[in-house]
Amino acid sequence: MLYANINHLGAQVPYIHASFQQWIKEAVQIASAAEPGKYQLAQQDVFVVVAEATTEPQQQRQAEIHKNYIDVQILLSGKERLGYGLYPPTEYAELDALENDVVLFDSVSDEQFIDLNAGDFVIFYPNEPHRPLCASDEICAVKKAIVKIPRALCK
């Protein structure tokens, strides 16, 4: 997992690969004027999902993992708490693929939480559990851009 802010890409966050920085910038540009939906980025197989949702109490949210895609969750507006952990549940850890590249579950071992404000983003790699759309202080509307990057592009 990696946590940063879109306003500090480049020189202030030099350890993020240049391709990731470009995809994040492109996704933010698309999402700023787009309706909710799925949009292709310039790089083949990389896309962004623009979503509007309402946060919920964390006990009502499920965690998820992916196998084939890296998730870059960018909060464009609102406040969101994200849960995360280091290891997926044992029954999912060794699977090579998931239907629609996602599995949902309730419990995350040693779960930690991070509060996001507009402009913050988090990168989750395959097999990293994360629990999106949890309310931080109060339930609120959020707009997000979720960049989906095939892990094959990172080999």
- The tens digit of pLDDT for each residue in 75-123 reads 999 999 999 999 888 887 887 878 888 888 899 999 999 999 999 999 9
Name the 3-class secondary structure at 24. Answer: helix
Confidence of residue 29 (pLDDT cuts 50, 70, 90): very high
Region 14-18: what's the mean pLDDT? 83
In terms of residue numbers, what domain contains 104? Answer: 2-154
Closest CA to 101 of 62, 148, 58: 148
DSSP 9: -
Read off the pLDDT of each residue in 118-146 and give the average, rounded to a whole number: 96
pLDDT for the residue numbered 133 = 98
Total count of domains within the chain: 1
> In this structure, is the dihedral angle defined by the CA atoms of residues 119, 80, 94 and 46, taken in order, positive or negative?
negative
Q: Which DSSP symbol is given to 13?
A: B
What CATH number does the domain containing 75 carry? 2.60.120.370
- Please give the mean pLDDT across all residues of the chain: 92
